[in-house]
Amino acid sequence: MDIKDPKNAKNIQAILREGKSSEFWQVICAFLDEDIEKHKAELMSDEFFTAPAEQYKVQAEVIKNHILDLQTLKDFPDECIIELDEPDQTETEYDPFEKLETEPSQ
């Protein structure tokens, strides 16, 4: 199935919605939620705050980005459904040096 073919969009959306409501996806989301909560607790732990400042900043950013990645994964089916609803928004190449004609040709 070609996911880029607009003719398949409605069918793919139905598959995604069905998959999202399945027990399989609910189990995956439960594991993702558990991992997100574990990382949030890690950010708030006393042990984490005792690290040197530079190490704390780096570790905090890594953990925050990991939480964001997990949330993005959890939201991925919804993002795909939305993307399939939107019309084709391919960008045309823009040449900033291309001369624009402002006066009619004579």
pLDDT for the residue 92: 62
Query: According to the model, what pLDDT value does residue 53 have?
Result: 86
Q: Spell out the residues 6+ positions from residue 79 whose beta carbon is closer than 8 angstroms to its own.
A: 72
Tokens of 69: 């990645």
Kindly report, residue by residue over 44-96, the tens digit of the pLDDT.
888 777 888 888 889 999 999 999 999 999 999 999 999 988 766 555 666 66
| Distance between CA atoms of residues 106 and 101, nearest Å | 12
pLDDT averaged over every residue in the chain: 85
**CB neighbours of residue 28 within 10 Å:** 13
pLDDT band, residue 5 (cuts 50/70/90): confident
Looking at residue 89, its pLDDT comes to 53
